[in-house]
Amino acid sequence: MVSELRFIVDHNVGKLARWLRMMGYDSLFFDGSDDSHMVAQALAEDRVILTRDSAIMKRRVVNSGRIRAILINSEESEQQMRQVMDTLELKRQLRPFTLCLECNQPLVERKWEEVKERVPPYVYKTQSQYMECPACHRIYWRGTHWEAMIKKLEKFSDFSS
């Protein structure tokens, strides 16, 4: 049930999109051009709006509960992430590398041989599992960056439990 949550992330809390994708949540980034578009898309695709714009919260579709929206309090991205995780109880939903952190596309598994020419030699020597984004062709592996993000997410969970 919780895993079906999808998000639309307003530009004023844009960093949340990467964190949520890291957790496996389909999260669109909204560039802030026209709030009506964001609200319409949230309604059409059943997405939770994350924003720091209190005017969004006053809109009738949000007010009436037809769309779920979370007004983010903090300016600091780790605090923002904690608020989202607390509000929606996301702490047990770690699914790193199911979605591209850059473009929100589901990642596809790649074999060791397939990525040989496309990752640094030290990575190729030490890693055996790879994922590729079919849209931007970025290759993901479980390196130190991955571990750093997981540790941070786990820290958020501790904080909220």
Site for Zn ion in 81-100 (CB under 5 A): 100
Q: In the complex with Zn ion, which residue's Cβ is closer, 34 or 106?
A: 106
Q: In the complex with Zn ion, which residue's Cβ is closer, 18 or 91?
A: 18
Q: Looking at 57, 103, 108, 148, which residue binds Zn ion (CB under 5 A)?
A: 103
User: 60 burial class (0-12, 13-18, 19+ CB within 10 angstroms)?
Assistant: exposed
Q: In the complex with Zn ion, which residue's Cβ is closer, 23 or 133?
A: 133
- Shortest distance (Å) from residue 73 CB to Zn ion: 30
Does 135 participate in binding Zn ion (rule CB under 5 A)? yes
User: 1 burial class (0-12, 13-18, 19+ CB within 10 angstroms)?
Assistant: exposed
Does 136 participate in binding Zn ion (rule CB under 5 A)? yes
Q: In the complex with Zn ion, which residue's Cβ is closer, 78 or 102?
A: 102
Number of residues this chain uses to bind Zn ion (CB under 5 A): 6
Count of CA atoms in the C-beta half-sphere (13 A) of 137: 4
Site residues (vs Zn ion, CB under 5 A): 100, 102-103, 133, 135-136
